[in-house]
Amino acid sequence: MRGARIIRTTASLAGLALCVGGVAPAGATSATTGTARLERVVATFATELGTPGVDTAAIRRAGLSPTLTGAMASALESLMACARISRTAAPDAEKAAALRSCGETAVAQVDALRTAASAPAAKRSNEIDLWPVLRYEPDNNDDVYDADYVLILDAAGDDSYFNNAGGNAIDVLRGPAPAPNPGPARGCQMDGELGFECVVAAAALVDLSGNDTYQRFETPGVDSACTSDPLVRRIVLEGAGAGGVGILVDARGDDTYNGKILTIGTGHIGFGYLRDVSGNDSYTAIRTSIGASVVAGTGHLLDEAGDDSYSYYMPAGGAFDNNGVCQTTTGTIMGGSLLGGLATFRDLDGTDTYAAPSAGALGSGQLGGVGVFLDAGGDTDGYTGPAGHTNNVTLLPSAANQGLFIDS
Compute φ and ψ for 287, nearest 5 degrees: -165, 170
Q: Taking the alpha carbons of 126, 130, 131, 133 in that order, is the dihedral positive or negative? A: negative
Q: Are 258 and 231 in contact (CB under 8 A)?
A: no
Strands 174-175 and 181-182: parallel
The pLDDT value given to residue 33: 80
| pLDDT band at residue 170 using 50, 70 and 90 as cut-offs | very high
pLDDT, mean of residues 205-224: 98
CA distance 343 to 390: 20
Q: Are 356 and 386 in contact (CB under 8 A)?
A: yes
The pLDDT value given to residue 274: 99
The pLDDT value given to residue 18: 33
- Extract long-range pairs of 16-24: CB within 8 Å, 24+ residues apart: 16/77, 16/80, 16/81, 16/84, 17/74, 17/77, 17/78, 17/81, 20/44, 20/77, 20/80, 21/73, 21/77
pLDDT, mean of residues 124-147: 96
CA distance 227 to 149: 30
Task: Report pLDDT digits (tens) over 173-185.
Answer: 999 988 999 999 9
The pLDDT value given to residue 297: 98
| pLDDT band at residue 24 using 50, 70 and 90 as cut-offs | very low
Task: Report pLDDT digits (tens) over 40-58.
Answer: 999 999 999 999 999 999 9
Compute φ and ψ for 108, nearest 5 degrees: -60, -40
Task: Report pLDDT digits (tens) over 292-319.
Answer: 999 999 999 999 999 999 999 999 999 9
The pLDDT value given to residue 161: 99
CA distance 363 to 397: 9
Decide if pLDDT at 279 tops 50: yes
The pLDDT value given to residue 312: 98
CA distance 260 to 248: 16
The pLDDT value given to residue 322: 83
How many C-beta atoms surround the C-beta of residue 23 within 10 A?
Answer: 8
CA distance 364 to 124: 47
Decide if pLDDT at 287 tops 70: yes
Say which range, 44-48, 174-178, 260-264, 343-347, has the weakest mean pLDDT. 174-178
Domain chopping of the chain, boundaries? 91-407
The pLDDT value given to residue 8: 28
The pLDDT value given to residue 122: 85
Name every residue whose Cβ is closer than 8 Å to that of residue 94 and which is 6 or more positions away in sequence: none
Q: What is the DSSP string of 89-150?
A: ---HHHHHHHHHHHHHHHHHHHHHHHHHHTSGGGGGS--EEETTTEEEE-S----EE-S--S
The pLDDT value given to residue 386: 95
Average pLDDT of the chain is: 92
